[in-house]
Amino acid sequence: MRGFLGTKELMPWPTGAQPFCGVPRCESCRVVSKWIRAEHERRSLHPGLRMSRMVLQSPSSKVASDLLSLNRSMSSQVIGLITGHGHLRKHLHRVGILQEDPLCRMCDNQEETTGHLIFDCPAIVREHYAVFGSLEEEFFSRKILIISNTSFGRSKNRWVSKRLKI
């Protein structure tokens, strides 16, 4: 490589507290972001994961930071709602913790799943509307992750805990 005035310029060996990698940070971030998008696309083709696909439509650093800002109890409940692996009877029955029928403990009409509690359960439809302001899936998929450590978010958390006796 030629430097100023045509003299040969030597590349100095990097010094500092960090070990030298040789790959620019922007390149490593680009590769990781590309991998995350590809992995998200691959998982979106999975036949299951209906609730997760509905709520998490694409990778988002905002959603990740919102989830990481929640306390342990609230993040456990939100992630349980997103994945369907919460303290719901259908999931507990599937993993063998609950031996009785996985019917909804509120209405006894359908299996107690995230989708049933959020959209279909007639026993809590009025309270659901009061908390979320809508009963439509599209609205919920946009608003579920807005829960934060505000007083409104804490009231939702208490409402979910009280209703599901978690």
CA dihedral 40, 41, 45, 46 (to 10 degrees): -20
- Note the helical H segments in 12-150: 25-44, 50-55, 61-69, 72-83, 89-94, 114-115, 125-132, 137-143
Q: What is the pTM of this model?
A: 0.53
Q: What is the pLDDT of residues 35-85, one digit of tens each?
A: 988 988 887 787 777 777 777 777 778 888 888 888 898 888 888 888 888
Dihedral class, residue 103 (left if φ above 0, else alpha if ψ from -120 to 50, else beta): beta
